[in-house]
Every structure is written in C-alpha cells, then in structure tokens.
A and B are shown apart, each in its own frame.
Chain A
Amino acid sequence: MIVFFASPRTVEAAVKLKQEHPEAIYAAGTTDIAVELYHETLKANGLIDLSRIAELDGFDPQRHIVGALTTFSQLLRADGESPELLLLKKMAQNVAAVQVRNRGTIGGNIANANPAADSLPVLSVLNTSALVTTPEGAQTMPLEKFLRLRGQGDTSTLLTALRYEPLPEGAGTAFIKIGRRTSLAIARINACASLSGQDGVITDARLSLGAVSKVTGRFANTERYLKGAPLCEDTFVQAGVVARREAGSFIGGRASAQYKLSVIEDLVPELFRQCRRNMEGLK
C-alpha cells in the first residue's frame, strides 16, 4: 500500500529520497505503474514523483538527448527532419493511444523494462546510452545494461536521459509494430532496422526486435550476416532465415513462440526492403 509520496525538484533530492525510502518507486507518467499497483503486481510503499524535476524534461534533437520525462506526444511535436527523429516519431505514433501518449514518458517506457515497450527496438538501433544517477553519482551505461539491471529488480538507478547516436550517413530505416488492433495494442512484435550500403554492398545493418526476449537487444548474428553481403532481395530473405534461427535460440517455449518465429522470418526481409526504399528515397 502506498503510504509515502514526495515530489522532489531535483535529481539529487529524488535519489536521496529513494535512499531513505528503498521500498518507494520512481513515478513518471504512471501509465504502466498505476495499473500494476492496482493489480498488486508491483509492490511499493511509496511514490517518488519525478514530474516536477525540470532537469529530466526536454528533448534536444541536435544533441541527440531525450530527457526521461519526454512524453510520446512531445516527441511527435519535435521539430526536425533527421532520420533518427523520424524514426523516433514513427515509433511514438505507434504507442497506445493519444491519451497514453500525452502522459506516458519515454523514460517510464524504458524503466518499466517491459519487453514489449515500443521505444526499445528504435533506441537499440540508435545505439542509445542511458544517462543515470545513483547515490554514487551520475554515469552513462549502454541501454541494454540498464534494462538488465531493471530486470534484476534494481529500482534505485534513476534514468535521467537517453543519448542516441546518429545513424550512418544515408542509412535507410524502418519501424514496424505488430499489434492486434490499430491502437491501444500491446506489441506482439515491434521491430526496427537500419541499413546502409555502397556499390551494391551492405556496409552497416542493424536489427532489433521487441517482445521476443526478456531484454530487447540487437540481432548480432543477423547483422553479421548482412554486413558485407550484396544489397539485394535474396540477402534480405536469407536474413529472415538467420533472424528466425537467432530468435529461436532465446525465445523459449512460450505459447506464442511458433507464431513469432514464423513472423520473424517474413518480417525481417520486409524491414530491410523498407530500409532500402528509404535509402533510395534519400538519394
């Protein structure tokens, strides 16, 4: 039961409160944790409300930094035409519905460590780092490391911002979400890819699929297969087979596994087809 509530104004104060109240949890848009607390699937005795901490706010596309409190609606309103931003916007457009996009934050989406979180595949493809603060101070860590910490039950590391890397020059990108309906759908699979090439050869390929493993990360084997391969349909189709095999190694025996593996084999070629069309579009 929630018996403690505080609205600190600084990151430092928030971290201190967390030290004093280890059973309390950080709260941002609360679109996930309010439901989890209601269902008692999340145990906490207090809420540390982050919404009044100005330094967590703000999205700077030039510096590639997204404040943890940035809502999906704010992402959608951001100015700019960079491929990274367009990818973030495409992802944000696919999050839940407008009400949730208005409240839900990108920080919360990540900190909640739900494998189906829509932002994860995109941030993964953008080689995103997590800027965090702990009682020991501020530090930067790979996003995947932060997700693993959260998965291990660590609630004391406060995510303050995300810093993503620019994509290789001329890269084509794609984001596809598979859900059961148009909006307010939890992803069965969400997927992001980028592709760069020169003289008919793939120079860089990135692939991340969400909702297929506990921690959303990159498909290293598939990327390895693609890099240096001919930039053509056959390669994409074969990448689907490789990705299916790669996913099969960690997807486990869930009831949905058969469905997801079948889909991955066809989805991955489609992602790279879309990436290639984007590349050509840029030219």
Chain B
Amino acid sequence: MKNDEIRIDAWEKVTGRAVYTDDLELPGMLYVKEVHCPYPHARIEEIDTSAASRMPGVRLILTAADLPESPAPLEKPVLAGPEVLCAEEAVALVAADTERHAADAAKAVRVTYTQLDSVCSIEEALAPGAVQVHAGGNIACTCILEKGSMDAFAECAYIVEQEFATQRMHHGAVEPDCVVTVPEGDGFVVLAGSKGPFNVQKEVAAFLHMPEEHIRVRHMTIGGGFGGRMVDTVSIAARAGVVTMKTGCPCKLLWTREETLTEGSKRHPFRMTVRLGADAAGTIIAASLTGYADAGAYLSHTKGVVFRAMAESLGPYHIDNCYVNIQGVYTHCVQSDAVRGFGTPQVGFAMERAMDMLAKKAGLSPYQIRMNNIIRDGDIMASGQTAEQVGIEACGKELAARFDLSKPVSRTEGTKAFGWGLAFLMRGESHGALSKGNDLCGIDLDILEDRKIQLSSSVSEVGQGAYTAEAITLAGLLQMPRDCVVVRGADTRFTPRCTTTSGSRGTISGVNGVWLAYLAMIDGLKNAAAKYWRMGPAEVRYRNGRFYKDGGRASLSFWEAADLCAAEGSPLHFEGRWVAPQTNWDWDKHTGSPYYSYSYGTAAAQVEVDLISGRVNIMDLLVINDLGRIINRQEADAQIAGGIMMSAGFALTEETAMDQGIIRSKNLDKYIMQMANDLTHIRPAAAEFVPAANPMGVHGVGELSASIAAPALANAVSNALGVQMTQLPMTLEQVRSAIDKRKGGAG
C-alpha cells in the first residue's frame, strides 16, 4: 500500500475551489442572528421585539415561547427561556433579508432580565446550600473505577499527593460555526460541516419535534473540527431550521468569531487530586485520582468525557490497587463538551506530573520510573480489562533512542533556565462502553460507468484526512491507482449510517469499513467471473487489478469483471458495515472493558524558560505515537503535529478566561493560540510498532498527540525551575510566580 500521499482534497482547498457552508448563497435566503443573554443566570421578564420587528428587512423574530418544549431538560435548549442558565445563551432569533439587517435588528430586541444567584465554578457549585443549576442537584454524573484496595498505600515506601487544575479551552477551528437550511419535502436539509451528520439529524428532529426522516443533513467541506462541530451545530441547525419551517425560506446562520468563542462549547475544566504510592524499588503499588469536571450549564457529553477520564486516569501503567472517582458538576458557565482529547488531556496532565513527583521521591529518573511500571500484554489494567497489543514499551524504547536522556534534567544559564520532561500516555479508542454497542460505520462502494469506484463514506471529513485514508486503503487493497476511487461524503438520505467521527475512531472505522466493502466487492466480481468461466468462485483469484483462473492462464480486468457482473443484472453496489467490538462497564462493581483498543504514545520536551518574563520557549518536542499501521504517513505526521500544537496551547497560552460566568476572552487577541513560529522545533513521529486489534491493524491518530505534549511540557518547566507546576495553562504570570517562588526558596 502506498502510504505517503497528498490529500485528495488538497488542491481544491489551496486553490479556493472548496465550497464551505458560508460560501452558499441561495435565492430568497434569510440570515438568522441570535440575541444573547449577558448574565450567567437570569429570568427573562419580557422580550420586546416591537422596535426590532419594524426594522428594514426583518421577516421573523422568535423566542423560546414560539418553539416546542425541549425534550431533554438537562440539555441546552434551542432558545433559552424563561430561565437562562449561562451567559451568551441565545434567547431570541431574528431572521432578515441580509446579515447586516438581522444583526442590527437583533441589537434592537429589548430583553428585560432579573438576575439570579449563580454558581460559576466547581467550588461554588459544591458549596453547601449552593444554588442548583438543575433540579436534582449540581452533580451531573459520577464515574468510579476500582481495582484492589486503597489500604495498599499503607505498604508504600514513597507516597506523593498533589492537587491539579486545568482550564476551559476552545476548539479553535478556523471556520466559524455555520449552517444553511433549505426547505425540502415536509422538512428541511441542513448543510453543515459536522462530526456527526446522523446525530445532527436525530437531535435536530428531537428538538423541533419533527420526524427524523424530515431532516436531511449533508456534510460540507469543513474548516476544522478539533472535537467540536456537534452540539453547537445542532443548536444552530435547529435555530436556522425552525426559521426555514416557519418561513419556507432557505436560511443561513453563521456565528461570528466572538460567538464561537463565547456561546460555543468548551473543554471541561478539571480539579483533581492524584495520590501515588510506590515500594522501595519504585514499583507503583497504589494510585488514585479523584476530582471534578466543570460541565457548565448543560449535560451534553459530560458523561462521555468523565467516563473517558476515569478509564485513562492512571495512565499506561500496571498498578494493582487503583481508585478513580470523577464527578461532572453543573455550573452557570458556558456548556462544556468534547474538545479534541476530551478527558485525556486533563487527567494525562495530572497523572504524568504526579509520576515525575514520585520519581523524584523514589530517586529514579523520570524515564526509569515509567519504564519500570508500564503495562504489558496480559497485565490487568486499572479498569480490570486484560491488556493486549500494547505499544507503550516500544514507544518508550523509541523515545530513548531519539531523545538524549543522559543530559541533566535541569540547568540555568544567566536569565534562562533549561529543563526536559517526559510523558507516557494511553488512550482508549472509539466510543467505548458508554456507546452501548452503538459504534457503527458504513462504507458503500459503487462501480461507475466511467471506470471509477465511488466510495460513499459516512465518516465525517473534519480535516483529518479521512477521505484520503479511505481512498488510499481501497486503492491499496485493489492494487489499483488511487485516482480510480472517488469519495462522496455523508448525506443522511443516501450514505449509510455512522456514529460520530470522534474518539479517534475515523480511521479505524473508515478503513475497516472499506476493507469489509472491498471483500464484498471482490466476492461479487469473483462470482461474475466464475460464472463466465463456468467454475466455482473459490477457483478465481484476484491480484493487481485482475481476476485469474487456472493459475493465471486466463484473466479478466477488474472492469471487465464489473461489466460481466452488470450484464447478469447484479447491482454494482457493495457494502461494508463496521461494528466495533463489544465493550462493557459494570456501574455497580466499577470495573469492565471501557474501550476495545488503546493507542499508546510517549513524548519528550526540552524547554528554555525566560527567568525574566516567564515565557516558555519550546526547544524540542518529540511525540511518538504507535499507530499500528500507517495509512498515510504525511497525514499521520501532520495529525500529530497539529495535536502537538493544540496540546502546547493547552499547556502554555490557551484559556477561556471567565469572570463570574462571563467570558472575557471573546476573540483571538485575548484567546492566545499557538502559531507555527512558536513551534519550530517539534518532532512528530508516527510509528508502526504493534498492530492494533482490528482487521486493518490501525490505531486512531487524532487525539493522543493532542493530550501528551502538555504534560511533557509541564514536567520540563517544573524541572527547569525546580518548582512543581500544578495548573494549566502555564501563562507568563503562572511561570513568573513559580520563578518568584524559586527565588524565595533560594533566598
């Protein structure tokens, strides 16, 4: 299989031919703008639309009173009201003939609020007598993992215990969220880039009390996903959709950059305590992680995030006695949801920092303590699952080969401090036990007249190169040129059903779906060839684009076999349906098999810390990720590089700054993402060590790298300064405060 190819959508993107949702302009289109609430918790007393409705071009103004009741009270409603549970929620919609008219009229809608008491942090939400965000209390969910006994801490020679905190973070896609809705039949079509067209269909239908089949979702070219493009897409699709249903007009709803940064969902901030205990030799005997995740005002995917965090909390290590307890907590803050990694970055930071602290206490190097405790095939993981096809040891050895572990972990020269740090990580793949068996992917193949194979993919191309990976896989399996494969993206009316492209499942699900469809296609064509040759299909062989009989004495090309198949009236349509292997979780016994496979990786970071400003300069950042089998090396390395960038942002600069529930970092001047020139010394390293437990042997590549750089950087900075960094992001102020602490200590 040729595995180093330019993406199939590269040219249309660099030449500007790719059509994004906002590029769509349709006759008679209305533009929809929202009115956002400025308070974290309020009751709407009155919405006066009289002035706004008289403004030029205004066609319709809607409030929550005009919409069906929300089917799920814990989920964010299409429009909030009469109670608003977080700032920036939309409380009214204005539809007008131009975007400007809609925006001007939205400003003219007068909303009278009564502000209510609010809880804007985990601590406030958990305080005795705290205001309840939802009836039933502020605990959104609880996920507990247990193995062995915490009594084992009594036997430990070394124990460390430390609190850690991570921040709220934004996805940071280049393209702001956008949908277009167009009337069709009894319902409407949603045109939008999302990570789950079928989920958008289902959820929009539920919110609007419409039959699912009346909503059709077509996947558009997307300007990045990064874990988003699901709950926010549902919100704006339902909003535009309801206007389409009431007016019969196509509608566009495009969020401004500010709206994506304010109303858009965010990464869960975590507060955690990690406790690790080791024997005299440095073998970890007991470990616990307890803490809370800030869900914001609505449930959304909090349980999925907390469950994943629970399952991965204690890292790729073999530990006999484990306890994890993480609770999701409602606050009057913007809704938290999946952001690339969802759960892994938070607990990965805490656990890997604690590992370094334990190493120091036990007198071992950061590398030694990790390698001494890594999980191996046959070991029982913290969850109780038996580990198999584990790649962490190979990633660890590769790290030692590619990063100089012999240099001092810390040194200071003038106004610069230098340090290096490591991180090891394990990440559960795909949806896991929470999906209750609903982990599906369909790939259809249709042989076309013009000697092309149309590959209909339900995996969302969210910029990760899914379509390219699928086309490469099919061409490779067929041993035919890639340009005979054309990929068609998801359309809920025509492409097979698929669950969301999340949890790093796109490649696993997509290429295994392709493999199944390929088998069906080759079987179908073998049958046609066998009939033509009057022999059994088992006697027909396929190789290099041709079908052979009698050891190669006669042959048919792939296309000739397809013609025979068509001539006998058999459809040239073949299906592959990937259903993920079973997973399970016993919620009473707190044990199970949370994910059917795990990906593994290691990272090493070398930093220079400016002792004046507190600025961290990344001098080297190596991330090794075992992918089992690499479908497209360019894309795999690019995915890892992008993950590093996001994880470095998590470590150093990115934070949705809040002040009593109000977001202060409303645009990219205050929400500081890493840029290419901040990360000139990164080494993404996709590797093929241990094949994954699926027919194509592939691991996902999306999220491990997006989680692992931050703990490596935090360990490097901690080593450089000799001060434990326990909170992300390590802003100039945080680091400078650590420098002052170090000075104080020295003085």
Contact = CB atoms under 8 A, between A and B. Distances in A.
A270 B612 contact: yes
B675 A262 contact: no
B613 A188 contact: yes
Given A262-B739, A263-B614, 12 more contacts: A178-B612, A180-B615, A180-B653, A181-B678, A182-B678, A183-B677, A184-B675, A185-B672, A259-B733, A263-B613, A266-B415, A270-B612
Interface string B713-747: 00000000000000000011100110110000000
Given A188-B613, A266-B612, A181 B740 contact: no
A275 to B, nearest CB: 15
29 contacts: A178-B612, A178-B732, A180-B653, A180-B732, A181-B653, A181-B672, A181-B674, A181-B675, A181-B678, A182-B675, A182-B677, A182-B678, A183-B677, A185-B672, A188-B613, A188-B732, A189-B613, A256-B733, A259-B614, A259-B732, A259-B736, A262-B736, A262-B740, A263-B613, A263-B736, A266-B415, A266-B611, A266-B612, A267-B613
B118 to A, nearest CB: 21
Interface string A177-201: 0101111111011000000000000
A178 B735 CA distance: 13
Nearest to B670: A186
A192 to B, nearest CB: 15
Interface string B604-616: 0000000111110
Interface footprint category on B: 20 to 34
B613 A186 contact: no
Contacts of B677: 182-183
Contacts of B614: 259, 263
Contacts of A259: 614, 732-733, 736-737
Contacts of B669: 186
A164 B672 CA distance: 34
Interface in A158-192: 178, 180-186, 188-189
A189 B675 CA distance: 20
Nearest to B740: A262
Interface string A58-80: 00000000000000000000000
| Residue of A181, A183, A189 most packed against chain B (CB within 10 A) | A181
Nearest to A177: B613
Contacts of A180: 615, 653, 672, 731-732
Contacts of B736: 259, 262-263
A183 B668 CA distance: 13
Contacts of B653: 180-181
Contacts, number: 45
Contacts of A189: 613
A267 B672 contact: no
Contacts of A183: 675, 677
Contacts of B733: 256, 259
A92 to B, nearest CB: 17
A262 B610 CA distance: 13
Contacts of B675: 181-184
Interface in A34-55: none
A220 to B, nearest CB: 23
Contacts of A263: 612-614, 736
Query: Which 3 pairs between the two chains have the least Cβ-Cβ distance?
Result: A178-B613, A266-B612, A259-B733
Given A182-B677, A182-B678, A186-B669, A270 B732 contact: no
Contacts of B740: 262
A182 B731 CA distance: 14
Interface in B52-91: none
B692 to A, nearest CB: 36
A266 B732 CA distance: 14
Contacts of A185: 672
Contacts of A186: 669
A56 to B, nearest CB: 27
A266 B611 CA distance: 8
A259 B612 CA distance: 10
A180 B678 CA distance: 10
B415 A270 contact: yes
Interface in A184-224: 184-186, 188-189
Nearest to A240: B612
Contacts of B732: 178, 180, 188, 259
A199 B271 CA distance: 58
A265 to B, nearest CB: 9
Contacts of A262: 736, 739-740
A262 B739 CA distance: 10
A188 B614 CA distance: 11
Which of A180, A186, A263 has the largest number of chain B CB atoms within 10 A?
A: A180
Nearest to B735: A259
A105 to B, nearest CB: 19
B720 to A, nearest CB: 16
A206 to B, nearest CB: 19
A106 B728 CA distance: 36
Contacts of B678: 181-182
A178 B615 contact: yes
A94 to B, nearest CB: 13
Contacts of B672: 180-181, 185
Query: Quick one: which of B613, B672, B732 has the most chain A CB within 10 A?
Result: B613
Interface string A250-276: 000000100100110011001000000
A134 to B, nearest CB: 32
B172 to A, nearest CB: 13
A16 to B, nearest CB: 32
B413 to A, nearest CB: 13
Contacts of B615: 178, 180
Interface in A138-176: none
A266 B612 CA distance: 6
A267 B611 CA distance: 9
Nearest to A40: B107
Interface string B672-709: 10110110000000000000000000000000000000
Contacts of A188: 613, 732
Contacts of A270: 415, 612
Interface in B604-635: 611-615
A77 to B, nearest CB: 21
Nearest to B615: A178
Nearest to A268: B612
A269 B548 CA distance: 81
A270 B672 CA distance: 26
B731 A267 contact: no
Interface in B266-304: none
Nearest to B734: A259
A160 B288 CA distance: 66
A131 B736 CA distance: 40
Central interface residue in B612, B675, B677, B678, by most chain A CB within 10 Å: B612
A182 B613 CA distance: 13
B106 to A, nearest CB: 14
A251 to B, nearest CB: 15
Interface in B625-675: 653, 669, 672, 674-675
A189 B736 CA distance: 14
Contacts of A256: 733
Contacts of A267: 612-613
A122 B732 CA distance: 23
